[in-house]
Structure 1
Amino acid sequence: MSQFPATSTSQTFRDRLAATAGEVEAILEELLSDDIRGGEIARPERLTAAMRHAVLAGGKRLRPCLVVEVARIFGVETKAALRAASGIELLHCYSLVHDDLPAMDDDDLRRGRPTVHKAYDEATAILVGDALQTLAFEILADPRTDPDPEIRATLVLGLARAAGLGGMVGGQMLDLAAEGRYGEAALDLEQVRRLQAMKTGALLAFSAEAGAILGRAEPRQREALKRFGTALGAAFQVADDILDREATAESLGKRTGKDRDRGKATLVDLLGLDAARAECRRLVEEAHRSLQDFGPEADILRDAARFAAERRV
């Protein structure tokens, strides 16, 4: 059962999400071509093929959509925001490749296709992740992403913090510990929330903040949009936990029930399904409150928060 009515996410949002996904896909295809760029010596064919396997496999492209839609509020044209959005998506894809590795989550399927270490091999998958991560920062630092070097530096700094020790990578470390690998006790509610805010939420929050950076938002506006992204990210992860419990592997395109199999606590375990659905609703309301000063121009973002919570894949 969905947490929200089936009509709660507007068709306008779904159309914009699909449009952004298509535009980002085209940029990613160009970035991951075999063509050698300035400053490069060569592009190993196997590596670029494996990178394309990791990145060009579909997906919601929610993070790029957040970048584009926040930037739009401040009058930034879609085309001007798409390179930064694509860089953030590359970093997200790197995290999925490494999360799927045998030493991490050990998954064989991603979006209904073999994971990179299954389609190629483990060493190639590690290098794919490394290459996608560095390419992400290259794109954000490129003058073609924004003519202002201060804006580019701010984007690079923000992505590094969201993705690194105190963000996504740190969250993955906590996630491994939550499985009991290192002898730690089971996590309590607040510890699970912190883990999820780092592993999943930090990059989603930065996606919204990145749009504000591109839009030259005032500090209070940027902070409000970061709060929006944080609440959306938390709702996204709770919805993911619910799907892991209720959905089939066929519908999700990946293995389900793995957290429970490993004895790892989630909010569903700690709260129960009904309370987890209520938590999703609360987080969507929190995301909406963060947008109260932006008026109807932020309606697409309000729909994005609903989408994060009500998605079925």
Structure 2
Amino acid sequence: MDIGKWLEETRAIIEQWIREDDIARQAAPGTVEEVMRYSLLAGGKRLRPQLVMASTVYLGLPQDTFRDVALAVEYIHTYSLIHDDLPAMDNDDLRRGQPTAHKMFPEAMAILSGDALLTEAFVKMSQMQNAKAEDVLNAITYLSVAVGRQGLIKGQVMDLAAEHHDVELAELQTIHRNKTGALFQAALVIPALLTGNHARQKALSVYGEHFGLAFQIVDDILNVVGKRELLGKNVGTDSERGKATYPRLVGIEQARRLADDHRIRAKIAIGSEPGAEILRNLIDFAVDRQW
């Protein structure tokens, strides 16, 4: 299949879903929705909701079956970027080629917009109508853990603590399994939870772990050798902040080999069953991308 075409088509679908949502339609000047809408529609790959769609296809369902899940994970991702960019965190002034939320709006409104996006994600999850109530509850619990103190937040805390310190490879992997990989895994696993497909849930979880690690390794590499105009954000920032990264720990060439190893492991996890083609192509995109 042409993964580039699929990515382009699904990105357009996701953009339309966001524009149709209450957040975008209620975004009057001076409201928190205005800041939420600005950050949501600033661009980006839309990879997390695309993983929801790819996982759904892997489960034998139409890719738009879990629209609310796709929106929920994108809202959580956007919230995490808004907060990561704040002066108290990474202090970035550019995101997706545009001024970050706290540069475009008052800092307090940026913080509140992130809080609101996180909350809105769970509103989406709780209102799903196309799954059993028990399965919806399991999915909400999984997502809560993935983005809370045992997942995304834990990874962010460890990432901050590791600045200007030497870390071992195992510790770096733990940081990125949580900070980056937890939401990738959730995007992939939640459709399986909602359909009760426990066999493929395990495969998707393993795939998601290796996808997240591969993606973060390449992200670290691109922060060294990437181009700002392609990435939509400044490069060289990891080194300036003393971040724990794969290039810093093992060098760029070894980092590339590690990313390729995770690519292989991800493909093994999902096999070559019907519906796996998109996922196989997506891990290739994650490793080979230039942005």
TM-score, length basis structure 2: 0.95
CA distance in 2, matches of 1:78, 1:223: 20
Q: Which residue of 2 aligns with 1:312?
A: 290
Alignment of 1:100-249 (within 5 A): 100-144=85-129, 146-180=130-164, 185-217=165-197, 219-249=198-228
- Tell me which amino acid in the other structure corresponds to 2:160: L
Alignment of 1:60-79 (within 5 A): 60-79=45-64
1:17 matched to 2:7? yes
Check the 8 A contact 1:71/1:215 in 2, yes or no. Answer: no
Q: CA deviation at 1:211?
A: 2.3
TM-superposed deviation, 1:160: 0.6
Distance verdict in 2 for CA 1:147–1:282, change over 3 Å: closer
Per the alignment, residue 33 of structure 2 pairs with: 48
Question: Which residue identity does 1:73 align to in structure 2?
Answer: Y
CA distance in 2: counterparts of 1:147 and 1:275, whole angstroms: 44
What TM-score does the superposition give when structure 1 sets the normalisation length?
A: 0.88
**Aligned Cα root-mean-square deviation (Å):** 1.7
Compute the displacement of 1:125 (Å): 0.7
Say if 1:67 and 1:207, in contact at 8 Å, map to a contact too: yes
Quote the offset at 1:28 in angstroms.
1.3
Report the secondary structure of 1:105's partner residue.
Answer: coil
The one-letter code sitting in structure 2 at the alignment partner of 1:286 is: R
Task: Give how far 1:45 is off.
Answer: 4.3
Q: Return 5+ residue gaps in structure 2 as ranges.
A: none
Q: 2:261 is matched with which residue? A: 282
Cα distance, 1:98 vs structure 2? 0.3
Q: 99-108 or 203-212, which moves further after superposition?
A: 203-212
Whether 1:33 aligns to 2:32 is: no
Quick check: 2:79–2:115 contact (8 Å CA) kept in 1? yes
1:93 and 2:78 aligned: yes
Would you say the 8 A contact 1:71–1:214 is kept in 2?
no
Distance of 2:68 and 2:290 partners within structure 1: 28
Instruction: Tell me by how many angstroms 1:302 deviates.
Output: 0.5
**Which is worse superposed, 147-156 or 302-311?**
147-156
1:92-148: CA deviations, max 9, x gaps?
11000000000000000001000000000210110010000000000001034x342
Distance 2:204 2:218 in 1: 21
Q: Deviations over 1:149-198 (max 9, x none)?
A: 11211221111111011111111111111114xxxx42211111110111
**Contact 1:76–1:215, Cα closer than 8 Å, also in 2:** no
Once residues 193 and 139 of structure 2 are traced to their aligned partners in structure 1, the CA distance between those partners, rounded to angstroms, is 7
Q: CA 1:139 to 1:214, structure 2 compared with 1: closer, same or farther past 3 Å?
A: same
Change (3 A) 1:35 1:310: same
Post-superposition Cα deviations, 1:249-288, rounded to whole Å, max 9, x if no partner, equal: 2321111111111222211111111111111110000000
Q: How many residues align?
A: 290
CA distance in 2, matches of 1:148, 1:254: 41
2:43 matches 1:58? yes
Q: Residue 240 of structure 2: which of 261, 275, 296 is its match?
A: 261
Q: Kindly state the Cα deviation for residue 30 of structure 1 after the two structures are TM-superposed.
A: 2.1
In structure 2, what residue type is equivalent to 1:167?
A: G
**Secondary structure in structure 2 of the residue aligned to 1:255:** coil
Task: Give the equivalent residue in structure 2 for 1:297.
Answer: 275
Greater CA drift, 231-240 or 254-263: 254-263
* CA distance, structure 1, for counterparts of residue 185 and residue 67 of structure 2: 17
Equivalence for 1:3: none
Opposite residue 5 of structure 2, the aligned amino acid is D
The one-letter amino acid of 1:177's match is: A
**5+ long unaligned stretches in structure 1:** 1-9, 37-42
Provide the rounded CA distance (Å) in 2 between the counterparts of 1:140 and 1:44: 27
Distance in 2 (alpha carbons) for counterparts of 1:75 and 1:287? 19
Q: Verify the 8 A CA contact 2:223 2:235 in the aligned structure 1.
A: yes
